[in-house]
Structure 1
């Protein structure tokens, strides 16, 4: 029983160190509890479900900003349809700044450009936490 307790304590300690590392690495970014967070590096894509939409994005670092490319389309419902092929956004996000997208069902996505444009933090969150 003592070994199991030590293993749980060690795992909790590791998780605490990892969480503190993410929080301290980007002091300008404050994640809300319950938000789904993805850390993006240059050229590494991310796939997010935002309400009834699906978004795929990536960025490259250029001119001290995150050059973000995001394609947003209707979420796949099992039937192939070209009614909504998607919309592509290409925009610079300055270091320390965010780009937000609001979708249906009260959900939004936020893309935060980290210091030095070395990485981005993408998160999906509820705009209306008390939906009925």
Structure 2
């Protein structure tokens, strides 16, 4: 079994996030309403004070989603480590990831894993008045 190098992995993830931050505006959206993803093509966007990168692979008819999140950086500086989440999403279903700032990322897998969409939702707590 191959050894897992944590420092190398964190450095690689941080490099990916910095590269994505410097990407052209065509792939970057600030507080998106809804973004479309296609297999093997990532998209980066800001979610509050965080920077997210999402991509997926179509495996066995499922959307094998990977999301990387870290603190948003200015001027190519690297802050802290990135968090990586991998989730298999069934076609016509969705997966949600909540942030600490009250936002939810909702990823929907299209039939046959042909595409995915990501929507940033605001979490709003609701309590009915008791009578």
Q: How would you bin the TM-score normalised by the shorter chain?
A: 0.5 to 0.7
Residues 19-38 of structure 1: pairs in structure 2 closer than 5 A: 36-38=33-35
Segments of structure 2 that go 5 or more residues without pairing to the other structure are: 1-30, 127-131
TM-score norm. by structure 1 comes to: 0.64
8 A Cα contact 1:52 1:103, kept in partner: no
Partner of 1:44: 41
Aligned to 1:116, the other structure's residue is in SS state helix
| Cα offset, 1:67, TM superposition | 0.8
Larger Rg computed on CA atoms: 1
8 A Cα contact 1:50 1:108, kept in partner: no
Partner of 2:108: 112
Counterparts of 2:106 and 2:78 in 1: how far apart (Å)?
A: 27
State how many pairs are aligned.
Answer: 96
Partner of 1:102: 98
Structure 1 ranges of 4+ moved more than 2 A: 77-82
